[in-house]
Amino acid sequence: MIQRIQSLWLLLAAACAFASFKFPYYSGTNAKGITAYELNATENFLLMLTTTAIGVLALFTIFLFKKRTLQLRLCVLGIVLEALLIYLYYRQVQLFMPGQGTYSLTAILHSIIVLAFVLAARGINKDSKIVKDSDRLR
């Protein structure tokens, strides 16, 4: 299970998802006039729910190593959920005063999550091809 590379990619995706609870995505002056306000996953219930779902999905997908097609579909679902999460963050950033904030360096965590899900899906696909080739040889 852990010796497969996609398990490591999924673990990285889960770690980045859970790290986004602590680290900010955007910081600046919000619409209420609060300066040095940091936007992270705990800001909004929908952000928190989606981030938790992505982290749990990535961890859960690691243990489905015997069901590769389901594992691949869940990776695609993780990519879609992450795209939704990035859109939700974009909507929250629009509530900040224009020109009064910047994206944090840790906003790259969400790009890492997408990349990790893509690389995990690629590894799962390679495993499926290896199994098909070995079945053909028998």
CATH number reported for the structural domain that contains residue 53 in this entry: 1.20.140.150
Residue 68: inside a domain? yes
- Range 5-15 average pLDDT: 92
Average pLDDT, the chain: 88
Contacting residues for 95 by C-beta, under 8 A, at least 6 apart: 30, 31
Per-residue confidence band for 12, with pLDDT thresholds at 50, 70 and 90:
very high
- What's the confidence (pLDDT) of residue 9? 93
Q: How many domains does the chain have?
A: 1
Lowest mean pLDDT among 56-70, 91-105, 110-124: 91-105
- What's the confidence (pLDDT) of residue 85? 93
Contacts 24+ apart (CB under 8 A), 29-32: 29/96, 29/97, 29/100, 29/101, 30/95, 30/96, 30/97, 31/95, 31/96, 31/97
Residue 135: inside a domain? no
* pLDDT tens-digit readout, 21-41: 999 888 887 777 777 788 888
Whether 57 has a pLDDT exceeding 80, the answer reads: yes
**Whole domain around residue 81: which residue ranges?**
5-130
The answer for 36, left when phi > 0, alpha when psi is -120 to 50, beta otherwise, is: left
For residues 59 and 19, give the distance between their C-alpha atoms in angstroms, rounded to a whole number. Answer: 14
Q: What is the pTM of this model?
A: 0.87
Write out the two tokens for 94.
Answer: 């629009």
Helix (H) or strand (E) holding 93: helix 68-93
- What's the confidence (pLDDT) of residue 138? 58
Residue 44: inside a domain? yes
Question: Residue 42's CB: how many other CB atoms inside 10 A?
Answer: 13
Contact 97, 32 (CB under 8 A): no
